[in-house]
Amino acid sequence: MEEGDARKARLAACKFNPFTLLPHSQEKYLYLSNFDIQHWYTSMQHHTIPTRVISITYEDGVAMRRSFDTKAERTGEGVEPLTEGDVLLISKLEERIQNIIDDLSPDQGIIKNSNTIHKY
């Protein structure tokens, strides 16, 4: 789908009542995608602190989930183990994030990662 068509589909989804949409349906994802930062930040950037957004791959997401699950495991039932590839992906992602943080000046606001907010 082209960007123009994708935007039209997203905006059309706003007409739905989100509480009536089936979980995991295309309509629900389209509705929710209207609130993704890439669709509203450019309109708001002059009213807020500078914000950096990085893209992650599906594989990065899987590695982060496995890492979280491994650290949060308390049931004794076991979780999908963290692989060497996961460790490498997470290390590269941490490096990317650290480079962005290092480029920020101390007066540029808040850094949000995980469930922690660091104010500078």
Same domain, yes or no, for 36 and 71?
A: no
Residue 112, in any domain of the structure: yes
Q: Are residues 36 and 83 in the same domain?
A: no
Same domain, 42 and 62: no
pTM value is: 0.58
* Same-domain pairing of 14 and 41: yes
Domain boundaries, position 111:
58-119
* Total residue length of the chain: 120
Instruction: State whether 113 and 62 are in the same domain.
Output: yes
Tell me: do 77 and 100 sit in the same domain: yes
Selection from 53, 20, 18 nearest residue 39 by Cα:
53
Q: Are 107 and 68 contained in the same domain?
A: yes
Total tally of structural domains belonging to the chain: 2
CA–CA separation, 13 and 31 (whole Å): 5
The answer to whether residue 52 sits within a structural domain is: no
> Which amino acid appears at position 17 of this protein?
N
DSSP 108: S
**What is the model's pLDDT at position 75?**
61
pLDDT in tens, 29-67: 888 887 888 778 888 888 877 777 788 899 999 999 888
The residue assigned the tokens 């963290």 is 82
Q: What is the pLDDT of residue 119?
A: 46
> Is 69 a member of any domain?
yes
Query: CA distances (Å), 43 to each of 38, 40, 47, 48, 103, in order?
Result: 10, 6, 9, 10, 23
The sign of the torsion formed by the CA atoms of 36, 117, 94, 46 equals positive
Whether 53 is covered by a domain: the verdict is: no
